[in-house]
Chain A
Amino acid sequence: MHIHKYEKIWLGFGIFSLVLFLSIIGVTAFAFNHHPAGGMETIDPEKLEQTAPFDHPGVHQIDEDTYEVVIVAKTFGYDPPEIKVPAGKKIIFKVASADVSHSFSIVNTNVNMMVIPGQINTKEYTFDKPGQYLVICNEYCGTGHHFMKTSIEVIE
């Protein structure tokens, strides 16, 4: 196949940028463990109330530096209604849905989790600054979708 000389240069540039982009993403993902929210655990969406840890939604301290926050998303709100966590500690968010698909997205952070019925989603995050953080549902879930919110209070 005949390829114009300039096109070869251009394609070389294209392939080089492709390799560069992918290396950056790959290194941050697998060497620095920067993965988006996820998890492979499943759960019966209709039996959340009987299944640990979703039978006790809320903030649980695991050790000195780690907290687990268990959240149930359902139309159109989150359980527990109030979340208070310390700044500078590792927070493990665990969310599950009791009905349709939702999301648990903490504005101004990169915690952006889809909440799919039947699946448990997990994400680790450390808040640097204390303050009030708005949490919204950004996956369409019905007529009350634009009212679905909660907030997280991050204390010293």
Chain B
Amino acid sequence: MKQISIGDRKLALTNIVFAYIAFLIGTFCGLLQVFIRNDALTLPSWLDYYQVLTAHGVLLALIFTTYFIFGFLISGMSHSLGAFGPKVRLFSWIGFIITTAGTLLAIVEILAGRASVLYTFYAPLQASGWYYVGLALFVVGTWIYSFALIGHYVKWKKQHKKQLSPLFAFMTISTLILWLIACLGVVATVLFQFIPWAFGWVDTINVELSRSLFWYFGHPLVYFWLLPAYMAWYVIVPKIIGGRVFSDSLARLSFVLFILFSIPVGFHHQLTEPGISSFWKFLQTVLTFMVIIPSLMTAFSMFGTFEKTGRQKGATGLFGWFFKLPWKDVRFTSLFIAMFFFIPGGAGGIINASFQLNEVIHNTLWVVGHFHITVGTPVAMTFMGLTFWLIPYLTGRRLTKSIQKLAFIQVISWSTGMLLMSTSQHILGLLGAPRRTSYAGYMKDPTALEWFNGILSNHVTMAIGGTILFLSAMLLIYIVFNTLFFAPKATTEKEQVEFPMAESDLEQTPKYLENWWIWICIAFALIAFAYTIPLSEMIHHAPPGSSGYKTW
């Protein structure tokens, strides 16, 4: 059994442990929120609802995801391309240290009550300058990580001239390219707008420009979470079910399309705001919809693999393959449920991004429901499914029967909780209940009170869902803890946990798919097309800027 080098293991494990510390605190903040909205809990005077909400968003959406992703990518790159050299390892550690310094700084500012601006930090709400410095360090740290991994890949390419890289490495590089291009927007606004303004070097800020630069980053950020989950679906799932990658070239093409169509689409988060003309909003709606193509390609590949493998195992009939899937293997079942949640999640996404439909649900609880069944389930639950074997693989411990049973309970409780919570959020959103609010009856307004009368659309359902989710999260923390420190060491070859990486046929894959320069150039051309004119309008016809406000 191939195991990755000890230095790389340490690096990956440290990232995963940090991810789960953020997860623990973040889900606890989530638990507090459902009870505050239920009016069942009042926070002590030194803690504010919006502070808890900021911590929840930052810890789960940014910190948990990013650390886990790098833990996963590091393990997979070391597994598929070989052990890291000393330089790659050194720079990965430097990246980790800088990211962590940024994280801690941002968290301290949130806890001190100086940054209750939520993770979108919309100007002219003004947090302390150090909060923005924390965010900047966080991003810079991830860039160093990214370049370390890209360096590892470049070295492999030099040693294997004219060869296509393994699928996992290809997908890692796509994800990192997407991340690096996406971050340009947030880095620009944080360095050139927020930091000088928050430290008082300039008096005012161009609000509309800062929002647009944020969403230039904010949407591809979603794909930065999603692509590692897709990697698991494309590469890990086929191996677990005993098959091969359905089509190597289609898998690569879909990742390339994600690079192209996930960035020039940020305006679909700004459809109901002034300052961007209808034409540009519509154009970005069109570009957003393009993402339907790689998403449907992924769905096809998944079910194609299921059917092909099922038939090889002797399945007959149209749906016989369904029963040949390894339902008793938690590594598979968790990922399957995660994918299943993405079907309504993706459909809801099309609604959100639609030019006019957006006004029905913009900033309502629907949106909260939406990202809990996209990021909170397909992404997070895929990461959970990976955790079950990734930690034992890295620690050299066994994945015991009892842990597998607990893992099943964890996955099923997470889906139940999410189903309850997100369904009620979707319905409440359609009725008009706003997102990001503490308990609100709007002074017993009859319309507001009516929202919460339904069987599913009431605060109790949401609180029950949230409670189940929290218990499920605690179970996961126990599993993580156990496989890190207590599960028995694997002694025989058979007990050792593997990194399930499926084989893919490279013969029919065209070489140009791995010519990154083509894709980077097209990506920048699309970005220039979608952003140059509207952004220059925002700069040249800017209103007088806004001074900072601290309204919390």
B447 closest partner in A (C-beta): A134
Name A1-28 residues within 8 Å CB distance of B.
Answer: 1-4, 6-7, 10-11, 13-15, 17-18, 21-22, 25-26, 28
- In this assembly, does A151 line the interface, its C-beta being within 8 Å of a C-beta of chain B? yes
Contacts of A107 in B (CB 8 A): 431-432, 447-448
Task: Tell whether, in the assembled complex, residue B360 and residue A112 are in contact, meaning their CB atoms are under 8 Å apart.
Answer: yes
Q: When chains A and B are docked, how far (Å) is the Cα of A17 from the Cα of B275?
A: 31
State A100–B121 Cα separation when bound (angstroms).
12
A1-B510 in contact (CB<8A): yes
Tell me if A116 and B207 are in contact (CB < 8 A).
yes
Docked CA distance A14–B304 (Å): 16
Count of A-B contacts judged by CB separation below 8 Å: 226
Task: A13 to B274: give the CA distance in the assembly, Å.
Answer: 35
Say yes or no: A22-B286 contact (C-beta < 8 A), given A116-B211, A119-B274, A143-B551. Answer: yes
CB distance from B508 to the nearest CB of A (A): 4
Query: Which chain B residue shows the least CB distance to A121?
Result: B274
Beyond A7-B304, A34-B356, A107-B447, whether A40 also contacts B277 by CB under 8 A is yes
5 contacts between A and B (CB under 8 A): A105-B434, A110-B356, A112-B360, A134-B442, A147-B442
Instruction: Please state if A18 and B360 are interface contacts (CB–CB under 8 Å).
Output: no
Looking at chain B, what size class is its interface with the partner chain?
Answer: 35 or more
A36 touches B551 (CB 8 A): no
**Considering the complex, which residues of chain B in the window 442-470 have a beta carbon less than 8 Å from any beta carbon of chain A?**
442-443, 445-448
Decide if B281 touches A25 in the complex (CB within 8 Å).
Answer: no
Q: Which of B293, B440, B549 contacts A18 (CB 8 A)?
A: B293
Contact B434 A43 (CB under 8 A): no
For B544, the chain A residues whose CB sits under 8 A away are 44-46, 118
Complex Cα distance A147/B276, Å? 29
Interface size of A by Cβ–Cβ distance < 8 Å?
70
Of B247-255, B390-398, B407-415, B520-528, which binds chain A? B247-255
CB distance from A105 to the nearest CB of B (A): 7
Q: For residue A21, which residues in chain B have a CB less than 8 angstroms away from its CB?
A: 289, 350, 354
A113: which B residues are within 8 A, CB to CB? 272-273
Instruction: Decide if A130 is an interface residue (CB 8 Å cutoff).
Output: no
- The answer to the question of A136 belonging to the interface, with a C-beta cut-off of 8 Å to chain B, is yes
Which chain A residue lies CB-closest to B120? A140
Is A18 a contact partner of B363 (Cβ separation < 8 A)?
no
Question: Chain A residues with Cβ under 8 A from B356's Cβ?
Answer: 25, 28-29, 34-36, 110
Tell me whether A134 and B445 are in contact in the complex, defined as CB-CB below 8 angstroms, given that A10-B296, A145-B50, A145-B436 are known contacts.
Answer: yes
Quick one: CB contact mask for A101-142 with B, threshold 8 Å, 1 for yes?
101010110111110111111100000000011101111111
Contact A105 B432 (CB under 8 A): yes
Q: A118-B543, A121-B273, A143-B48 are in contact. Are A38 and B278 (CB under 8 A)?
A: yes
- Which residues of chain A are near B48, meaning CB under 8 Å? 143
Bound CA span A14–B298, Å = 12
**B273, B300, B442 interface centre (most CB from chain A within 10 Å):** B273
B174 within 8 A of A: no
Task: Establish whether residues B274 and A114, one from each chain, have CB atoms under 8 Å apart when the complex forms.
Answer: yes
A41 to B537, CA, bound (A): 12
Cβ of B545 within 8 Å of any chain A Cβ, yes or no, is yes
- The answer to whether A142 and B551 have CB atoms under 8 Å apart is yes
Q: Which residues of A contact B331 (CB under 8 A)?
A: none
In the bound complex, CA of A1 to CA of B447 (Å): 57
CB distance A140 to B290 under 8 Å? no
> Which of B272, B297, B549 has a CB less than 8 Å from the CB of A99?
B549
CA distance A42 to B544 in the complex (A): 9
Instruction: Give Cα A30–Cα B283 distance, bound, in whole angstroms.
Output: 12
B329 proximity list for chain A (CB < 8 A) = none
